[in-house]
Structure 1
Amino acid sequence: MEKGNLFSKIWAIPKDTIAAGRRHTVGLKSDGTVTAVGDNKYGQCDVSGWRDMVAVAAGNVHMATNTGNAHTVGLKSDGTVAAVGWNKYDQCDVSSWRDMVAVAAGWRRTVGLKSDGTVVAVGRNNEGQCNVSGWCDMVAVAVGDWHTIGLKLDGTVMAVGNNRYRQCNVSDWRGIVAVAAGYLHTVGLKSDGTAVAVGQNKVGQCDVSGWRGIVAIAVGSHHTIGLKSDGTVAAVGWNEYGQCNVSDWCDIVAVAAGCAHTIGLKSDGTVMAVGNNEYGQCDVSSWTNIQLPGGKEW
């Protein structure tokens, strides 16, 4: 495999321009600035000073009385990374990172994909979820609560971290073009527009075998979102807060899923949201000019 081809492949991947965390939502605007709403207890929404951003990520965590702390990560056009918010486990210590082409944020950690296809991680590593130093030829990364997923250039997938519910059993996956990770489950998008999932399925969050025409996926703590090629959206899993009530959405070009809310970016740069809004994380109706995925040359 030629590294030049790998480099081109990685940079061709659309960047994440919306992100949903435990109790906050982040949006990248077309001018490279960033906006955020929701819980700001640890400064995770303090992104108004960010400039020249090309992607955003938001730390997510399952819903429990002892959780909720979060952070926000931004990828700059020069390949450096910024982070704000909860930093108890050094998950925001990314100022030295260089040559990054993608970032992902989970509970208590941050993962970065470099232009050479290798991966770096900072934060809590009690279950090996940051043991990615040996990964290579990666084109995408995803971060769940306790596990980390890497998509390789050949369409296979790697995983490290907690595997109690077999959420890391992805070694036999083939033809994968995108990955997403939740609290205890993992989802892969196949090149034929179908989806596969492993892990806990207590509320049906892995029931994606019937999906067709899917072009993007997003995973919350216990729910899974699929964006269809016609701009409509499918959802399965936990729906206590209405986070799966997306059947009437249309003209959607990107999706993101937090713990208990779901975000959709429309083709006109506006944003829709459903689900838990206790901290105002769904108050995005006034947002405009959010960057469309793949809408710039990086």
Structure 2
Amino acid sequence: MEYISPKEAGEQGERWPKDAIAAGHRHTALLKSDGTVMAAGDNKVGQCDVSGWRDIVAVAAGNVHMATNTGNAHTIGLKSDRTVVAVGWNKHDQCNVSDWGDIVAVAAGWRRTIGLRLDGTVVAVGRNHEGECNVSSWNDMVAVAAGDWHTIGLKWDGTVTATGNNRYRQCNVSGWCDMVAVAAGYLHTIGLRSDGTVTAVGLNKHDQCDVSGWSGIVAIAAGSNHTVGLRSDGTAAAVGSNEYGQCNVSDWRDIVAIAAGCAHTAGLKSDGTVVAVGNNEYGQCDVSGWRGLQLPGN
């Protein structure tokens, strides 16, 4: 494939469907071309109960850091009418999204849900003990990302803002510019520049922020302690914790979308099939029989 800049990739949503696949703590969700959703993995709190969903255009999955040793998580679906549905753990009201409207993008963190409105403002529900839901003053946003305890917003001018836990400087993004995508992990934040390079801040105990040498990247994803990048040629790169093999993506080909869960990584291929590596204790990587998004030309 020829190199395609992230900006061009964003304009070719059919080719790079970034919201078609989501990976949570112990589950994986896939948006199909008919607007329905499939899910596999831990369903302890109903986070995989998506079989009745219809007219979905994007999915997101709440993550939980491995150290919590809990399967509590939730799954979010954005509908074509810009309303939102949610299933799963709701102890902190993170699934109370039924009254949302005019939403164009969603993100799911641990114990909370973030929604980007059509007018560029942002709404949030769920746990707010560290200010991770303090987004009511945000405007001019074009994308949002949710880590465990911090929230990231990408503005139309390519700058980035953040709120929430900043113990490891994961919210130190005020100097970032020329960004086209953001992702947030447990305690780190990733930014994709318009030239296809990547930057990162936050905890780097497992080298999850060692992305300075990456190039030709069109999409990014952040797991709890690992980072994944999708190149314009359909291959993938990963750094960080590889305890469960979640970074073993070097042999992937023809990938059009990526997602990173707590300790697993999923990729959607151009033929609509799905691949996954990493922790599979709850069947979250049992996706070999899936066929999802039908892309142009297939």
TM-score by length of 1: 0.93
Contact 1:19 1:25 (C-alpha < 8 Å) held by counterparts: yes
Shift of 1:291: 5.2
- CA gap of 1:255–1:271, structure 2 versus 1, over 3 A, is same
Shift of 1:64: 1.6
The separation in 1 between residues aligned to 2:31 and 2:252, in whole angstroms, is: 21
Shift of 1:66: 4.1
Contact 1:15 1:54 (C-alpha < 8 Å) held by counterparts: no
**Aligned: 1:143 with 2:173:** no
The separation in 2 between residues aligned to 1:281 and 1:141, in whole angstroms, is: 24
Single out whichever of 59-68 and 35-44 deviates more from structure 2.
59-68
- After the TM superposition, which parts of structure 1 deviate over 6 Å for at least 4 consecutive aligned residues? 10-13
**Aligned: 1:283 with 2:295:** no
Contact 1:11 1:115 (C-alpha < 8 Å) held by counterparts: no
- Equivalence for 1:7: none
Note the residue ranges of structure 1 that are not aligned, 5 or more in a row.
1-9
Shift of 1:15: 5.1
**Aligned: 1:50 with 2:53:** yes
The separation in 2 between residues aligned to 1:291 and 1:167, in whole angstroms, is: 36
3-state secondary structure, aligned to 2:53: coil
Specify the code of the residue in structure 2 equivalent to 1:146. Answer: W
Shift of 1:190: 0.2
3-state secondary structure, aligned to 1:165: coil
- Equivalence for 2:270: 267
Shift of 1:12: 8.3
Specify the code of the residue in structure 2 equivalent to 1:161. Answer: G
Q: Deviations over 1:149-187 (max 9, x none)?
A: 000000000000000000000000010000000000000
What's the RMSD between the two structures over aligned residues? 1.4
3-state secondary structure, aligned to 2:172: coil
Taking the TM superposition and a 5 Å limit, the aligned residue runs for 1:23-172 are 23-172=26-175
- Equivalence for 2:5: none
Note the residue ranges of structure 2 that are not aligned, 5 or more in a row.
1-9
Contact 2:30 2:292 (C-alpha < 8 Å) held by counterparts: no
- Equivalence for 1:18: 21
3-state secondary structure, aligned to 2:220: strand
- CA gap of 1:12–1:155, structure 2 versus 1, over 3 A, is farther
3-state secondary structure, aligned to 1:64: helix
